[in-house]
Amino acid sequence: MRLRSMIGVDMVSSLPFWDKKKTVCQKAEMWLGAHKTFSSKILVDGQYVSLLNFLEIHKELLGFGSELSFLFKILSVHKPLSLQIHPSKDIALKGFAFENNKKIVIDDSKRIYKDENPKVELVYALSDFYALKGFLPLDGINHIYRSLGLDFNFMTHESFVKTLFDLHEFEIENIIYKVLGNLNFIDEFRAFWFNEIYKMYGIDIGLLVFLGMYIFKLKTGEVFYTESREVHAYLKGECIELMTNSDNVIRAGFTNKHIDKDEMLKVGKFEEGVFSLLKSENIDGCDVFKLPGTNLSLFHKCIGGESYFERVGVMILLVIKGKVQLNNRISLKMGDSVFIGNCDCNKELLICGNGEIFIALSL
């Protein structure tokens, strides 16, 4: 196997669920990939270089296409992340071109479209994981609002969101204070999370949207995904995240960052949520989760002894427990990761040792 087709991705093992003794700087989020706004570094001939730059020179390692088609993330969510929406492909293309024509620089805080790609996400829970995704039935939303003493009668999910975002700041503040005084009139679980989000973000329009959304709890090992245009947020827990290679985010709440109300209302899919767990396939003893509508898959396996994998496509392999060795020559410990490019050489990958791994794969 050629050296350049299997190269370590620079990653510090500093997430809280790895740092049991809390002896190193903790990070909430780690990216593995090659995006224009952020790229992992790889070790080549003793020097760290940008994976993005390396792949621009060695496009043969991608197999096809001009860029790595996925981002691989590890999240440790200790406070709710922003309520957000991601664009579909056609929306991303138009939005990226529009903002370029407006000469909005990529790192401008008000820039939404940082690339031309859609964003679809898969989440594998590493602990109990809490998330928001999609909206309750309209009668359920109206019931919650009436129970809280709020005089609204929403006719559609779209009008629910638009009505809230048309409120003045003082109206939002008055409503949130009223809700805080009436939380005992709604279910305890929803009331708990309203309080938690309020403690983190204070007066935030996302709190009123939250009241009409589904709250889900995943157990360790359970997987779900979000499509483009779906309103969602991650509230708490640790997970592996596999997504298309995009950093396009349209925020709707739980944030101090820019919220573009008009773009959010234009792009968002405001309808009753449908939630189901993503089922795995068993391939070579691995649990394999395919991200719908993409060519991406997430492999998960606990290694005990020797395991052989057919080497197809482009991969990033991550070790989250123990120690493993690849093809008897690359040793990896907890927190280490490796980029494995596409090539015409040895198609078999030998992994031995004792540990737990995830592989992000693009075919």
Q: Does the active-site annotation cover 229?
A: no
Angle, helices 138-147 vs 157-165, to 10°: value is: 40
Residue 196, helix vs strand vs coil: helix
84 belongs to an annotated ligand binding site? yes
325 belongs to an annotated ligand binding site? no
Q: What is the DSSP string of 139-193?
A: HHHHHHHHHTT-----SSHHHHHHHHHTS-HHHHHHHHHHHHHSGGGS-HHHHHH
Angle, helices 188-201 vs 169-181, to 10°: value is: 140
Taking phi first (over 0 means left), then psi (-120 to 50 degrees means alpha), and beta for anything else, what does residue 49 get? Answer: beta
Query: What single letter denotes the amino acid at residue 309?
Result: F
Token pair recorded at residue 141: 């939303």
- Among residues 146, 251, 311, 329, which one is catalytic? 251
35 belongs to an annotated ligand binding site? no
Rounded alpha-carbon distances, angstroms, from residue 126 to 189, 215, 299, 321, 355: 22, 18, 14, 12, 15
Token pair recorded at residue 155: 């006719």
Compute the 3-state secondary structure of the chain and give helix, strand, coil in percent, each to the nearest 5: 25, 35, 40
Residue 158: φ, ψ to 5°: -65, -40
Q: CA nearest 362: which of 71, 53, 7, 118?
A: 71
86 belongs to an annotated ligand binding site? yes
Residue 91: φ, ψ to 5°: -65, -40
Contact 64, 234 (CB under 8 A): no
Q: Residue positions in the annotated binding site?
A: 84, 86, 121, 232
What residues act catalytically? 251
Q: Residue positions in the annotated binding site for Zn(2+)?
A: 84, 86, 121, 232
